């Protein structure tokens, strides 16, 4: 069987105030075109279909149309909820999805059998997929209790709970003539973040070892980390990555989907297929004079300006580089703590004095900014 694995679409993403709706239309059209060329038996979307738990009608239309188009090529389509998605809202779309022949699993349900999906390919290869949406720490405990996997003790970790849930979902991976698959939205120890993930759900106890996945799985399709990569584990474990760079921290990532060919008796053959049409994100550095001479690279820009801060600097850079979405003073020019700069003491100092000390500590010698602060302070202090 052939599997197309994608994840982390983040439809509805706004980057520094710039809508990326047109980019998402082009990128998802590219994913659909790859599916038409490759003719997979199964498409797995491993979470974070949306960038927000309250997607706009436009974002909802784009996601549902993309899923429908993937189904129309003749593939089974399974999509799970990620940490950015509203699991209950995705599950509310299940009647539409089932009518369209699409399998949606937004949140963990009381019946574990609902998360075990079975199918047969055009050529008669039988497969079974354990589909686990994103679980917060609180709901991981609840899932363990729902599935009656003994009491969830406070001393147990998130990884313990997730491992026990996956063991329950994959306990049927016993038939030798069936392809056994897992999809989940989770951070695995040893994997590399892509640069734009939500930190609270990639650290602070959310990372789990790859040993939570069963050794007899033929392939584990993961979402959550935005960089395409293999993870060392007891079976083939892989992140497909996001099909477009979500933030400037991901500008070096190569947007792609993962294609997997596997049978019940043979190991998974894996390859990446780049996704065309993604607008690149670039970072440029320089003084105003250097930026004025720059031939702007294609894409959205992050600009590190090698100038001392002053009022109006952002506007000057924006005039030179209209596609600059993020403009910052170059971090190398910002005085580091303990570098000899005088630190303001709060006791007995006026707000004006404290603000003046802050400007001095940052090398921001601009009387216009001080005067503006005085005007604003007078407004709020009346």
Cβ 305 vs Cβ 330: under 8 Å: yes
User: CA torsion sign, 56 to 105 to 29 to 83?
Assistant: positive
Q: b/e for 129-155, b at 16 or more Cβ within 10 A?
A: bbbbbbbeeebbbebbebbeeeeeeee
The token duo for 72 is 């129309």
At what angle are helices 21-38 and 57-72 packed, to 10 degrees? 10
Q: What is the dihedral of CA 28, 30, 31, 34, to 10 degrees?
A: 160
Nearest to 162 by CA among 180, 128, 137, 130: 137
Please state the φ and ψ torsions of residue 323, each to the nearest 5 degrees.
-95, 15
The token duo for 249 is 């921290």
Nearest-angstrom CA–CA distance, 23 and 277: 8
Nearest-angstrom CA–CA distance, 8 and 30: 15
pLDDT in tens, the chain (382 residues): 999 999 999 999 999 899 999 999 999 999 999 999 999 999 999 999 999 999 999 999 999 999 999 999 999 999 999 999 999 999 999 999 999 999 999 999 889 999 999 999 999 999 999 999 999 877 777 787 777 776 556 557 888 889 999 999 999 999 999 999 999 999 999 888 766 655 545 555 788 999 999 999 999 999 999 999 999 999 999 999 999 988 888 888 889 999 999 999 999 999 999 998 678 899 999 999 999 999 988 899 999 999 888 888 999 999 999 999 999 998 877 654 444 444 445 556 677 777 777 776 666 666 677 778 777 877 766 5
HEC assignment per residue over 139-189: HHHHHHHHCCCCCCCCCCCHHHHHHHHHHHHCCCCCCCCEEEEEEEECEEC
Edge-to-edge strand list for the sheet holding 178-185: 116-120, 126-132, 178-185, 219-223, 237-239, 229-231
Q: Which residues contact 111 (CB under 8 A, 6 or more apart)?
A: none
Q: Classify burial at 367, counting beta carbons within 10 Å of its beta carbon; exposed 0-12, middle 13-18, buried 19 or more.
A: exposed
Please state the φ and ψ torsions of residue 322, each to the nearest 5 degrees.
-60, -20
Phi-psi region of 47 (alpha: psi -120 to 50; beta: other; left: phi over 0): left
- Transcribe 40-84 into DSSP letters: -SEEEE-S--BSSSS--HHHHHHHHHHHHHHHHTT-EEEEE--TT
Nearest-angstrom CA–CA distance, 165 and 371: 60
């Amino acid at each position: 069987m052939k599997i197309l694995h994608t994840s982390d679409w983040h439809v509805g993403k706004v980057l520094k105030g710039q809508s990326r709706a047109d980019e998402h239309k082009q990128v998802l059209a590219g994913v659909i075109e790859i599916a038409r060329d490759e003719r997979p038996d199964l498409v797995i979307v491993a979470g974070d279909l949306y960038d927000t738990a309250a997607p706009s009608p436009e974002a909802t239309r784009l996601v549902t149309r993309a899923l429908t188009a993937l189904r129309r090529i003749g593939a089974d389509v399974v999509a799970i909820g990620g940490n950015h998605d509203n699991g209950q809202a995705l599950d509310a779309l299940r009647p539409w999805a089932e009518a369209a022949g699409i399998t949606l699993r937004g949140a963990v349900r009381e019946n574990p059998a609902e998360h075990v999906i079975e199918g047969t390919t055009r050529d008669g290869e039988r497969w079974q997929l354990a589909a686990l949406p994103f679980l917060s720490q609180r709901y991981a405990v609840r899932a363990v209790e729902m599935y009656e996997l003994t009491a969830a003790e406070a001393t147990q970790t998130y990884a313990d709970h997730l491992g026990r849930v996956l063991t329950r979902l994959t306990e049927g991976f016993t038939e030798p003539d069936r392809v056994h698959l897992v999809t989940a939205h989770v951070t695995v120890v040893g994997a590399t973040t892509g640069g734009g993930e939500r930190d609270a759900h990639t650290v602070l106890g959310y990372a789990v070892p790859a040993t939570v996945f069963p050794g007899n799985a033929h392939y584990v399709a993961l979402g959550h980390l935005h960089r395409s990569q293999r993870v060392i584990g007891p079976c083939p474990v892989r992140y497909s990555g996001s099909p477009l760079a979500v933030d400037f921290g991901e500008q070096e990532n190569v947007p792609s989907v993962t294609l997997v060919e596997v049978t019940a008796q043979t190991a998974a053959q894996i390859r990446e297929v780049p996704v065309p049409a993604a607008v690149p994100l670039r970072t440029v550095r320089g003084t105003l004079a250097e930026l004025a001479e720059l031939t702007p690279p294609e894409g959205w820009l992050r600009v590190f300006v090698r100038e001392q801060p002053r009022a109006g600097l952002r506007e000057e850079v924006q005039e030179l580089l209209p596609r600059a979405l993020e403009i910052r003073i170059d971090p190398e020019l910002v005085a580091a703590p303990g570098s000899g700069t005088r630190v303001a003491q709060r006791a007995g100092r006026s707000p004006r004095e404290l603000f003046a000390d802050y400007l001095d500590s940052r090398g921001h010698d601009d009387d216009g900014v001080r005067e503006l602060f005085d005007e604003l302070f007078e407004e709020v202090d009346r």
